[in-house]
Structure formats: C-alpha cells, structure tokens
Structure 1
Amino acid sequence: MHPTIKNTIGALSALLIASSLYAQKNPIINGYYADPEGIKYGDTYWVFPTFSAKYEDQVLLDAFSSKDLKTWTKHPRIVDTSAVKWAKRAMWAPAVLKKDKRYYLFFGANDVHKGEVGGIGVAVANKPEGPYKDLLGKPLIQEIVNGAQPIDQFVFKDKDGTYYMYYGGWGHCNVVKLKKDFTGIEPLPDGSLYKEITPDKYVEGPYMFIRDGKYYFMWSEGGWTGPDYKVAYAIADSPFGPFKRLNTVLEQDPAVATGAGHHSVIHSAKDNKYYIVYHRRPLNKKSAHERVVCIDEMKFDSEGHILPVKMTGKAMVDF
C-alpha cells in the first residue's frame, strides 16, 4: 500500500475512533429509568438512575457502567428498601461520590410530607456497584425547610474540599453543608443550617459543577409527568449564588422526545468533554413512568455559556 494512502486510512481510523465515544445510541439502556446521576470513576463511566415505576414498586436502585458510553453493563439492585429499613417506597434520584476509598449514595425515599418519616438518606459501599448499606439508620434530612420537599439531592465538592448538598422539590431549593463523615449537617459560613437559593422558575432536580472557576447551577422546570419538562441554568461566582436564570439548556423536541429533564453532568477530564445525562419520554410513550435515560454532549460558547443541547437517538422505543 502506498504510504500516503496508508497514512490517510490511519488518520481516518483515528478520527472514527475519536468520534465513536460520542456515537452512543439513545436511550443508552433498555427499560424505564429516570433522574440519572452520571459520574466517572477512573476510566469507567457510571449512571445511577431512578427505577421508573409506581411509587409502591420503586423500591430499588440499579446502576450501569461503561468504558465507552456505548456498551453498558447492568448492576442490579445495588440498594433496596430491605437495606434501608425506614424507606418503604419511592427510592429515587440518587446522587453519588467517592470519598476516602468508599462510595456514597444519597437518595430520596417515601415521597415525604410534613409529619411523615422519609426524606433524604445516605448509603455507603466499598465498590461503585455496591451493595450499599444504610449509613445512618434514619433520614439525613427529613424536615421541610423553606418550603422545600427533601428530595432530588445533589452533593457537590467545592474547591476547598467542603461538601455542600443542594436539594428540594415543590419549587424551592436549599443548600446545606455536610459534615465530613456525611452523618449530618453543620452551619454554613453565614451561621445558618439551611439557605434557600431558589432561582427563577426552579421546580426540582438541582445540579452544580465548576468550570473555569465559575459555578454552574442547573435545575429542572415544568412538570415531570408532562411534555414541558426542561433544564435551565445560571452562572455565579459563589456556591451560594445569587443564581440568575440565563437560559434553557434542554427541552422537548417534537421530532425526538418530550419531557426531557432531571439531569446530571459527566466531565471527562482526559479530553475535557462534558456530557449531559438525562431522562426523556419517547414519542410513543404517554405514561408518567415511561421515561428513558439518554446522554448527549454538552458544549459551551466562547464566553462560557452552555449551548442548547440537541437530543439524539431513537424517537420511539419498544421494550
């Protein structure tokens, strides 16, 4: 083979390999899942979603791992209500992280209302795929403070090593500072235990990350059972805001899917790519619980603003 042709083929092959990472199919896994928390542990991508079903059946969490964002391995029942005695139903919206060689999984349970047992719990394991065991034997946060239902928690590690947790449904979002061992909360810099940081149009599903020294705060708007679910964002200089709504990042596409929201973000430091992990409702599905997990690349403009995400993949599914 002529050297020029060989080099050209080699270059094209390298390009195809480089681009194949993003050429994953959507939805990425079979079955109905929602509220996905995505993270990269070492060289492996992980997704921890809600098992999307009626609250009475939503009593377990599965996890999925992949080396290339295309082929996913299922790790079933990494935690369930048998391991969390106070949780009776509606285990959902996991948030995960690694600290001191242990893996922590924060979750909501029981769809708690005032006077009820439930709220945000935390479990721990020695491996990402579990099995996870209840850390406290009770909820980490059960009280309804500032009108925020204790659900949809996201745990964020700040630049100084402090762990903050953003959470809240019913149109209100609080931030709290976690103790180093995750057994409770402690006062924030202003002396308060709970600080409301709710941005305009916020409904639920908060998420935070740092990029170029700026704090990107994201959340879901609209109703999770309907077509108008969406994701918006703000940028601030502090983990406490103020968070002024800038734009919508992800929303329904009549040609692809409706109900796109409750997301997380995976940052691949190796190639500095960002991926938004989210759920959506296929066009041929109408039930509130018929949600699927998808991943698309998330890009930024020259000023650091998040560009609107174009959903890719199948418009209809048949599981």
Structure 2
Amino acid sequence: MTTGSTSANEGKKLSGNPIVPGWYADPEARIFEGRYWIYPTYSAPYDEQLHLDAFHSSDLVEWTKVTNILEMSSISWGKRALWAPSPIERDGKYYLYFAANDIQSNDELGGIGVAVSDRPEGPFRDAIGKPLIDKFYYGAQPIDPHVFIDDDGTAYLYYGGWGHCNVVKLNEDMVSLDSFEDGITFVEITPDHFVEGPCMIKRNGLYYFMWAEGGWGEPDYSVAYAVSPSPMGPFERVGKILQQNAEIATSAGHHGIIEVPGADEWYIVYHRRPLTETDRNHRVLCIDRMHFAEDGSIEPVQITFEGVSERLI
C-alpha cells in the first residue's frame, strides 16, 4: 500500500501511514523467515475481539494480511478481549503470548496465555490449556505481554497494566515459568509513569525498555523509555519518544520495534488515531523511523503521513 510522496521523497516508494486498512492496535514487530511481520490487536469492542490477524512484508511498503492466526474458539479458557500478541521463534517453533478476558481480579479466569505454531502465520493453538499468568502480582494486571530473548538465550516475559510492570523468566520450553536465582518468579520493575505496553530491545550492550503512558483511549497516549545495563533494570525514565501531533494524529502509542539485521537501522511500529475519528477503537497501524543520537539516547520520533521508504532485508 503506497501513498503520494512529498517533494522531499519524490520518486521513492513509500509505505504511507496507516500502512494497512482496518482498525488495529498494539502492534508487535518481528523478522521471521526473511520477512517483516506485524502482529496487532484487532481493535474493536472487547466482546468482538475474538481473533488475531497478522501482516508480513518483504520491503516495509507492501503488506500481506494473514487472517485468523489465532481464534478465541481455540482457547478453552478464553471468552473475550483477545489482545496484545507478542510472538517469538525458538528451536523452529513459534510462540505467541497474548492477553484474554481483561480480568479485573484474581476471582476471574483469564490473563496471559501462550499459543504455539510451526509457522509464523499460524494457525496458533493454545499451548497449555490454561493461562500462563492468571493472577495479579504487585498490582500488575496480567495483560500486554512482551517476550524478549537475550543474547545468552535467556527468555524474559515483560507484562503489566494498571500502572505496574513485572518480568518473569521463561523455561526453555517457552510455555512455563522459571524462577530467578533467588527463587522468586515475579519481579516488579515498574518505571515512573508506566501504564502498560512494555517493549524491550538491546543495542550496544544496553537494554532499552519502553512502555505506554496515558490512557489508551485518550489523545495523550504516548511512549517513553529507560536504559539499563541489565534486562532487570533498574529502569529510570528518560523521557517520551512517541506522542501525538495535532496536525497528523493523536493517541500514538503501544508499539513494537524492528531492527534491520546488521545495520543499526531501526523502525517503530505503533498505533494512532486519525484526527477524523472519535471512537477509541478506531486505531490504525503506522510505521516511522526511530533514530539513536551519538550518546545512545533515542531521539523523539516524528510521526508522518508518508511512513518509510522501501527497505529490503
């Protein structure tokens, strides 16, 4: 999908923003099997959030939709509010972490689940027949999972809502929880102003932890970050890197990151609300460049209508 170009981009093939039609949110971005992938929430009222779609591309410009990669009917304990998918590949299998049911207390069934597939496009099936995390620990609602495998092979799952963020370790099977050296399973790592939507990347030996701030239905929804030498933090908030632009869109937040292999070239995939829309579920998927300054800090992202230029892996 392309759009008209500005004079500065004359002759370039551009993704345009939004990059795909339809209402989607909370995108996770990955590279699988030599293609770019985006796994978003289907943005609709909770009782209609009963499936997940995915999109893949060879160049960041033309995107192909894969429908129903995970359906609520394949989750025995799920009933509504399927959102925030986060996939990862390990040992030839693809694991998809997700939130379901939007539980409000420990008395309800739901939380964070995990599904598995032999292919990045699915279909994914519930891997364990129950939630992987089904309780509130340290005040964190069990939503918005983000999976990250470190260079040493350790797999971490960051998650949380209601202003609290936790991290757990995953066993090598990727469908059960490990414990840390002190025997603890859940560790709170909440930075200042954290609301939801954690995301972790690693660059030059440093861990860049990002999250969403503000209310997801509000114009001031945004993304901030912290940097630490450890995947466990501490994470001291540096500042915002993504937010609304009154001339382009509002509610820019809950994102994923693409790093072009071997290039130190970064892209941020996120959702935002067009200026013409007032329904909080009317969110669209967008992509823009993310740059690092010489000192290693993340420069504020400029959200655009143009999107990004064609980029083959």
**Which of 244, 263, 273 is the equivalent residue of 1:252?**
244
**Which of 51, 55, 67 is the equivalent residue of 1:60?**
51
Partner residue in 1 for 2:311 = none
Equivalent residues in 2 for 1:219-258 (5 A)? 219-258=211-250
**Which of 88, 97, 101 is the equivalent residue of 1:97?**
88
Partner residue in 1 for 2:292 = 300
How many residue pairs get aligned? The number is 298
Partner residue in 2 for 1:30 = 21
Higher RCO (Cα < 8 Å, 6 or more apart):
2
Partner residue in 1 for 2:301 = 309
Please state whether the residue corresponding to 2:245 is helix, strand or coil.
coil
CA distance in 2, matches of 1:226, 1:268: 32
**Which of 134, 144, 162 is the equivalent residue of 1:142?**
134
CA distance in 2, matches of 1:190, 1:156: 21
Partner residue in 2 for 1:175 = 167
Partner residue in 2 for 1:9 = none
Q: Deviations over 1:74-118 (max 9, x none)?
A: 100011111111110010000001111111110000001211000
Deviation at 1:273, TM superposition (A): 1.1
Indicate whether 1:83 and 2:74 are aligned. yes
**Which of 106, 110, 129 is the equivalent residue of 2:101?**
110
Q: Deviations over 1:18-57 (max 9, x none)?
A: x64xx31110010000000010113210000000000000
One-letter code aligned to 1:35: D
Partner residue in 1 for 2:5 = none
Deviation at 1:191, TM superposition (A): 2.2
Q: Is the 8 A contact 1:50 1:91 kept in 2?
A: yes
Partner residue in 2 for 1:10 = none
Deviation at 1:227, TM superposition (A): 0.1
Q: TM-score, normalised by structure 2?
A: 0.93
Deviation at 1:293, TM superposition (A): 0.5
One-letter code aligned to 1:249: I
Q: Is the 8 A contact 2:268 2:287 kept in 1?
A: yes
* Percent identity (aligned): 52
Q: Is the 8 A contact 1:259 1:280 kept in 2?
A: yes
CA distance in 1, matches of 2:65, 2:212: 27
CA distance in 1, matches of 2:168, 2:96: 17
Indicate whether 1:123 and 2:115 are aligned. yes
Deviation at 1:189, TM superposition (A): 2.6
One-letter code aligned to 1:280: R
Unpaired runs of 5+ residues, structure 2, are 1-8, 308-313
Indicate whether 1:161 and 2:153 are aligned. yes
Q: Deviations over 1:107-150 (max 9, x none)?
A: 00000121100000000111111111110000000010000000
Deviation at 1:16, TM superposition (A): 8.7
One-letter code aligned to 2:152: D
Please state whether the residue corresponding to 1:82 is helix, strand or coil.
helix
Indicate whether 1:44 and 2:35 are aligned. yes
CA distance in 1, matches of 2:150, 2:10: 36
CA distance in 2, matches of 1:253, 1:121: 35
One-letter code aligned to 1:299: H
Larger radius of gyration: 1
CA distance in 2, matches of 1:222, 1:163: 28
Coordinate RMSD, CA, aligned: 1.5
Q: Deviations over 1:209-263 (max 9, x none)?
A: 1000000000000000010000000000101111000010000000100000000
Unpaired runs of 5+ residues, structure 1, are 1-14
